[in-house]
Amino acid sequence: MFDALVAAGGHLASVDVFLILMLGVATGLVFGVLPGLDGMIAVCVLLPLTYGWEPMSAMYLFAGVMGAVPFAGSISAILINAPGTALSAASCFDGYPMSRRGEGAKAIGMSAFASTMGAIFGLVVLIAVIPLFRAFVMQFGAPEFFWLVVFGLTSLAVAGGGSMLKGLAAGGVGVLISLVGYSYVFGILRFNLGSEYLWDGLPLVPLLIGILAISQLISYSVKKGIIAVERPPEVKQVASTLDGIKEVFRNKRCFFQSSGIGTLIGMIPGVGGAVSNFLAYTTAMQTSRHPEKFGTGVPEGLIAPESANNATISGALLPTVAFGIPGSGLMAVLLGAFMLHGLAPGPTLIIEHLDIVLSLILGILVGNIIAGGVGLMLARFLARITTVNVSVLVPILLVFCLTGSFAIRGNLWDVLLSLFAGVFGYLMTRFGYSKLCFIIGYILGILAENSFHLSLKSAYGSYAIFFTRPISLALVIVIILMLISFLLMRKKLGTKAIGIKRGESEA
């Protein structure tokens, strides 16, 4: 572990890696600041560029993106009340009032420092628990992996918001699509409709580009106009920025509490930063001495979501690298990136490629620090990007994405696939189906099938193997409990909502 950490640290010292990280940070800052575009789309757009790169270099590029996106999202949340990503939504509550009071520089300083420190907190926890997880994942066999995929999909559908039925259905469709093409387990072609193009199944990167990036570009085209109408205010007082940094030290308890929440939430597949920043905010409010001031521009109200959202990214890395079950949408795309670079998602990653995992972790750490520094200097200019007309942004991103889609395999039909996937992704969003569940289903579908058949083979065809091993059984119980608790919670909330409505009408 220590040797791998030193090796990963050594890589970071080279100029090439630093430049790659900077490219990632720059992309992350631009994509993070723009509402609608996020880290997931940024990694998607950059994926084709990394084809043929050393896996470690590619990881540094993605690490730069992941380090920069949460803070960049907060810049637009604080300055123009339009969160760049869902990770920064709660930062609007107190960040924007501060900015309106003329304390934009202080808020940005606070955000940058809390974000960076939150990421460091999460990454230190991650590095500390990886050795424990390495021992734990050795206990996992094929049946456990089958249930892990089911667990990942269920938790995404349950916790990902929206309709659980639609989430699970989207996951199912994703799994079925992953089965298209030649099966190396059975030696037959399935569901290829006689098409030569589908022999190897639907290619991952063009599909991801379509579902995530092109669908968002269609949304932009539909909305038209400028992304954020409000012009960013002046942000130039250095003293205020330093004051913002000091404010994080003054609210140490809030920082540690929120970073802890962020790291823990990140580790739960599917829950992600969108939940953690709100949970950290409400917890900070409940434990504050002056909860009534929340929403008026209090430092705790900004420190809480900022430290939580970056810590979440660090936490989400754990299930992704240890089990191959993504903790968030960004991690799902990262899994795709692992696959593109020939790295199998799952336990082999932290057992055989620990150096790559640690490079990613250190890269995110350094990316966070760079993003904090660059973001502090360029906050106002970055926020101005949101005033760009989408009619200018759409064709540029479209051409870049579709050329990238072609570049991976040099097959023109991949471009067409991206376009169809884009329309499909847009319709999924419009009609409330989780794109994330679909993607996870697609990425993990083959793993689920292979694990399933390997389990049956090792048990001489007995299905009991899925329920008799302790970890398998535990996973089955967790899945059932999760579904039951969700249904009970929904029933309870539904009754409450009806009660409120009734109360209102009676009044």
Q: Which residues bind other proteins (CB under 8 A)?
A: 49, 51-52, 163, 165-166, 168-169, 172-173, 175-176, 179, 183, 186, 188, 190-191, 195-197, 214, 217-218, 221-222, 224, 389, 391-392, 394-396, 398-400, 402-404, 406-407, 410-413, 415-416, 419, 422-423, 426-427, 430-433, 445, 448-449, 452-453
Distance (Å, whole) CA 68 – CA 57: 17
CB nearer other proteins, residue 94 or residue 449: 449
Under 8 Å CB-to-CB from 34, ≥6 apart: which residues? 76, 84, 227, 385, 386, 393
Residue whose CB is less far from other proteins, 283 or 450: 450
Nearest approach in angstroms of CB 10 to other proteins is 26
188 three-class SS: strand
Which residue in 58, 56, 97, 54 sits closest to 79, CA to CA? 97
Nearest to other proteins of 23, 127 (CB atom)? 23
Angle between helices 299-323 and 142-159 (to 10 degrees): 150
| Shortest spacing between CB 200 and other proteins, in angstroms | 12
Q: Which is nearer to other proteins, 75 or 157 (CB)?
A: 157
CB nearer to other proteins: give 341 or 353.
341
Ramachandran quadrant class, 385 (left: phi over 0; alpha: psi -120 to 50; beta: rest): alpha
- CB nearer other proteins, residue 135 or residue 464: 464
What minimum distance in Å lies between the beta carbon of 431 and other proteins? 5
Please identify, using beta-carbon distances, which residue of 49 and 478 lies nearer to other proteins.
49
Strand partners, 189: 182
Question: Toward other proteins, which CB reaches closer, 81 or 450?
Answer: 450
Q: How many residues does the chain have?
A: 507
- To other proteins, the closest distance from the beta carbon of 463 in angstroms equals 11
Q: Closest distance between other proteins and the C-beta of residue 439, in Å? A: 15
By the 10 Å C-beta count (0-12 exposed, 13-18 middle, 19+ buried), 188 is classed as exposed
Which structure tokens are listed for 2?
């220590």
In angstroms, what is the C-alpha Rg of the chain?
23
Strand partners, 351: none
- Using CB atoms within 10 Å of the CB of residue 504, give its burial: 0 to 12 exposed, 13 to 18 middle, 19+ buried: exposed
Element (H, E) at 181: strand 181-183
Tokens representing residue 4 in the block:
């791998």
Which residue, 455, 439, 463, is CA-closest to 140?
A: 455
The secondary structure of 377-392 as a DSSP string is HHHHHHHHGGGSBHHH
Residue-wise burial string across 262-281, b where 16 or more C-beta atoms lie within 10 A, e elsewhere: bbbbbbbbbbbbbbbbbbbb
Cβ nearer to other proteins, comparing 293 with 453: 453
Q: How far apart are CA 311 and CA 368, in angstroms?
A: 11
Amino acid (1-letter code) at residue 270: G
- 298 or 475: whose CB is closer to other proteins? 475
The answer to whether 167 and 160 have CB atoms below 8 angstroms apart is yes
| Least distance in angstroms from the C-beta of 364 to other proteins | 24
Nearest approach in angstroms of CB 13 to other proteins is 24
Nearest-approach distance from CB 222 to other proteins, in angstroms: 4
- Cα 193 from chain centroid (whole Å): 34
Give least dist CB 490 to other proteins, A.
13
Smallest separation (angstroms) from other proteins to the CB of 427: 6
